[in-house]
Amino acid sequence: MTPANPIGIFDSGIGGLSVAREIRELLPGEDIVYVADSLHAPYGEKSDNYIFQRMSTVTAFLLTRGVKTVVVACNTATTTAISRLRARYPIPIVGVEPGIKPAALSTHTGIIGVLATPRTLQTNSFTTLAERFANNVKIEIQPCPDLVARIEALSFNSDQTITLLKQYIAPLLDKGADTIVLGCTHYNHLSELISEIAGKNVAIIKTDAAVAKEVVRRLSSEGLLAIGDHTGSEEFWTSGSLAAYHQQIEQLWGKSSRCYRWF
């Protein structure tokens, strides 16, 4: 690995693009290789072993692209098996987990709501994370089945998506939550809509910027930050439909982006 090598980022789909965008903002000189494992999405409906095998397969592919670090831009994957992935691959691996800590510092009512995939909320890692702050705040969880599929379809403002969000957010507000954690990177694409539905007195907590800062810290500590004034490039890979991926990347990143089908 050298400073000239790219940063690898993956998610089960397009959710991790929110993390990639923050990384690009902080590190304009870094090359980025992004993989959406769309053929096997959503991870939130899969078993622990299945998710780990997909994580391993994607990481192995990223290593063939010469990446110097891997960012697991998926809450479900991180909370399910990132420790196993780190044990398998001797490369800096950065994950993303629900922002319970910043939410605990932000809340005034002492009640935090968490929107996440059913699978993330069932992991031991999430339970352990929540228990660390359970003495100071009350954490109300809300599984959000079907929401990732709406986001993958780029259905950001449809009546169906708005109805789902209202259905998921209302119980948290009824319980007094004044802070809502977005526990899935896909939900970052709906953060403004979620904020509008929740109301101006409810704080929305995302962790994409925090993950990007951790990537900078890790690369700096390893002496792997890109050197010089090189303008970073991007490659976007998918295990799913290339035509659908082109449309997703064009809308969320830019028309000139390079997209490839990965088998």
Residue 59 has φ and ψ, to the nearest 5°, of -60, -40
Whether 259 is catalytic is: no
**DSSP strand pairing (234-238 vs 32-36):** parallel
CA distance 177 to 173: 5
Whether 74 is catalytic is: yes
Residue 202 in tokens: 């409810």
Distances in whole angstroms, Cα of residue 59 to Cα of each of 56, 91, 132, 238:
5, 10, 30, 13
Residue 96 in tokens: 């993303």
Residue 138 in tokens: 């009350």
Catalytic residue among 9, 74, 85, 141: 74
The torsion angle over the Cα atoms of residues 122, 127, 128 and 130, rounded to 10 degrees, is 140
Catalytic residue among 51, 184, 198, 203: 184
CA distance 213 to 15: 18
The residues annotated with a catalytic role in the active site are: 74, 184
